[in-house]
Amino acid sequence: MRLSDYLDKGASLGGDAPCLTIGGVSSSYAEVRQRSRDIAGALQDSGIAPGDRVAVLSANDPLALTCVFGISRAGAVWCPVNPRNEAAENRELLDLFGCRCLFFQERFAPLVSRIRDELPALTRLVCLDGEAEGAVTFSDWLSKHGREPSPVTVADDDLCVLAGTGGTTGRPKGVRLTGHNLETATALTLMSYPFGVRPRYLALAPLTHSAGVLTFPIMALGGETVIMPAPDLGEFLRLIEQHRITHAFLPPTVIYGLLDHPALDSTDLSSLRCLWYGAAPMSPVRLTEALQRIGPVMGQLFGQTEAPNMIATLSPADHFLPDGSIATARLSSAGRPTPLTQVAIMAADGALLGAGERGEIVVRGPLVMAGYHENPAATAEVSAFGWHHTGDIGYLDEDNYLYIVDRAKDMIITGGFNVYSAEVEQALQAHPAVQDSAVVGLPDDKWGERVTAVVQLRASGNTDAASLIAFVKEQIGSVKAPKQVEIWPDLPRSKVGKVLKAEIRQRLT
pLDDT in tens, the chain (509 residues): 899 999 999 999 999 999 999 999 999 999 999 999 999 999 999 999 999 999 999 999 999 999 999 999 999 999 999 887 778 889 999 999 999 999 999 999 999 999 999 999 999 999 999 999 999 999 999 999 978 999 998 887 899 999 998 544 457 799 999 999 999 999 999 999 999 999 999 999 888 888 899 999 999 999 999 999 999 999 999 999 999 999 999 988 889 899 999 999 999 999 999 999 987 778 898 999 999 999 999 999 999 999 999 999 999 999 999 999 999 999 999 999 999 999 999 999 999 999 999 999 999 999 999 999 999 999 999 999 999 999 999 999 999 999 998 877 788 888 777 788 888 998 999 999 999 999 999 988 778 889 999 999 998 889 999 999 999 998 888 888 999 999 999 999 876 677 888 889 889 98
445 and 352 inside one domain: no
Q: Distance (Å, rounded) from C-alpha 435 to C-alpha 428?
A: 9
Whether residue 420 contacts residue 393, with contact meaning beta carbons closer than 8 Å, is answered with yes
397 and 417 inside one domain: no
393 and 263 inside one domain: yes
236 and 383 inside one domain: yes
Of the candidates 268, 221, 267, 224, the one whose C-alpha atom is nearest the C-alpha of residue 248 is: 224
Q: Would you state the pLDDT for residue 168?
A: 43
In a domain, 102, yes or no: yes
326 and 432 inside one domain: no
| DSSP secondary structure code for residue 196 in this structure | -
Q: Distance (Å, rounded) from C-alpha 122 to C-alpha 101?
A: 6
**Which domain does 128 fall in, by range?**
29-178
In a domain, 213, yes or no: no
Q: What CATH number does the domain containing 122 carry? A: 3.40.50.980
110 and 153 inside one domain: yes
Question: Which residue, 352, 382, 407, sits at the end of a domain?
Answer: 407
280 CB neighbour count, 10 Å cutoff: 15
In a domain, 227, yes or no: no
Whether residue 102 contacts residue 94, with contact meaning beta carbons closer than 8 Å, is answered with yes
In a domain, 197, yes or no: no
Predicted model pTM: 0.86
55 and 39 inside one domain: yes
In a domain, 298, yes or no: yes
442 and 393 inside one domain: no
Pairing of strands 18-22, 25-28: antiparallel
425 and 491 inside one domain: yes
Question: Which residue, 367, 388, 407, sits at the end of a domain?
Answer: 407
Q: Would you state the pLDDT for residue 210?
A: 82
460 and 336 inside one domain: no
397 and 420 inside one domain: no
Q: What CATH number does the domain containing 361 carry? A: 3.40.50.12780
For 402-407, the CB contacts below 8 A with 24+ separation are 402/302, 402/312, 402/333, 402/334, 402/335, 402/336, 402/337, 402/343, 402/361, 403/332, 403/333, 403/334, 404/281, 404/302, 404/334, 404/361, 405/358
Q: Would you state the pLDDT for residue 137?
A: 97
In a domain, 261, yes or no: yes
In a domain, 15, yes or no: no
Question: Which residue, 359, 381, 407, sits at the end of a domain?
Answer: 407
236 and 368 inside one domain: yes
336 CB neighbour count, 10 Å cutoff: 19
Q: Distance (Å, rounded) from C-alpha 464 to C-alpha 220?
A: 51
Q: What CATH number does the domain containing 443 carry? A: 3.30.300.30
Of the candidates 206, 52, 209, 54, the one whose C-alpha atom is nearest the C-alpha of residue 128 is: 54
Overall number of domains in the chain? 3
In a domain, 16, yes or no: no
